[in-house]
Amino acid sequence: MLLRSYKWINVISLVLIYLVILAGSFVRMTGSGMGCPDWPKCFNQWIPPTHIDQLPSDYREVFLEKRKAKIMKYTSFLDKLGMHDVSVALTSDPDLLKEEPFVARKTWIEYVNRLFGFLAGNFLLLGFILSLFLWKKRKSYALWSFLAVFFTGIQGWFGSIVVSSNLTPWTISFHMLFALLIVAVIIYAITLTTDRKKIAVKSLGMVLGMLIVLSLVQVYFGTQVRQEIDVISKVSETRSTWIGQLSTIFEIHRSFAIVIILMHGWLVYKLKSVSGWKVFAFALFCVIVAEALSGIVMAYFAVPKLAQPIHLFLATIAFGMQCWLFLHLRGNPRQIHS
C-alpha cells in the first residue's frame, strides 16, 4: 500500500512538472516572463496584485534596485566559478536594467506558472518522505526521490536567476534543459515501482540510447534557435521576417528533425511484433511527427505564437516517452511489491 502511494505521488509530481513546462511555454508565448519582477514572491506578495493601485507609485524603481542587488550577487558567484566573461556580459547588458510596467494578465500568467512549480516541489518532497519509510525494502527509492527534490530546488533557485537577469536567453535555455533532467529522474523513480519485463529486441537498447542523446542535441539546437528569435524579436516585430534572419543553426535543427523522424520510424518497425510496446512506439512516433509539423508551421507561417508552446511541449513529452521505453529494456528483477 505504501509503495503504491509512493508510485502515485511520483506520477502526480511528473504531471505537475509537465504542467510547469507547459505553463512556462505560455509565459514565453505571452511575454509574461517578467510579470513578477521578484522571486519567490510576486511584487513582494504571496498573492500578486490585480490592479496597479495595489502597488506603490515608485514600484518600478524599487524592484529595479532589488534586481541590481541580485545581479551583483549572481555575477560575483559567476566570477568565483571562473565564468568572468559571462559575468561581464551580464553586467554590461542594458536590457537587465529595464523594469517592465505592471500588467495584471502577465503577472497572473507568471504566477500560475510558479504555483505549478510550488505544487510539484511539495509533491516531490512528500514522495521523498514516503521513500524513507521504504528504506529497508529498497534504498534506491530514497536516493532518486532525494535527487528529484534536490534538482527541483536548484531549478527553483535558477528560476530566480532567470528573473533577475531579465530573461537572458541562455538562462532560459539552461532552465529548459534542466527541466528535462528532472523529468528523467522522476520517470526513473516511477519505473522502480513498476514491473519491467525485458524487451528482447537485438540492438534496440543501444539505438534507443543514441536516439535519446540525439533528441537532446535537437532540443539544444531548438533552444539556440529560440535564443536567436528572442534577439531578433527585440528589433523587429514583423514575425514573417524572423525565420529568414536566423543563422545556419536553424538549418541544422531542421535537418536533424528528418533524422529523428526516420529513427523513430525504425523503432516502430523493430517493435511491431512486441506485444504491449508496438502501440507505445507508434504513439511516440506520432508525437515526434506532430512536433515536426508544429516546427513546419512556425517556419512557413510566420512563427505563430500558439505553435511555439506546442512545439516545446511535444518535445518534452517525446523525451519522457523515450526515457520510459529505454528504462523498460533491462527489466526490473529486483522489484518488490507491497
Read off the pLDDT of residues 99-146 as tens digits, 9 standing for 90 and up: 678 888 999 998 998 899 899 999 999 999 999 999 988 899 999 999
Distances (CA, A) of 127 to 24, 99, 147, 149, 150: 24, 39, 11, 9, 12
* Whole-number pLDDT of residue 296: 93
Instruction: Identify the residue with better confidence: 211 or 202.
Output: 211
* Whole-number pLDDT of residue 156: 80
Question: How many residues does the structure list for the chain?
Answer: 338
pLDDT in tens, 314-338: 999 999 999 998 888 765 544 444 3
| Domain edges within the chain | 1-194, 196-338
Distances (CA, A) of 150 to 176, 177, 230, 265: 16, 16, 30, 36
What is the pTM assigned to this prediction?
0.84
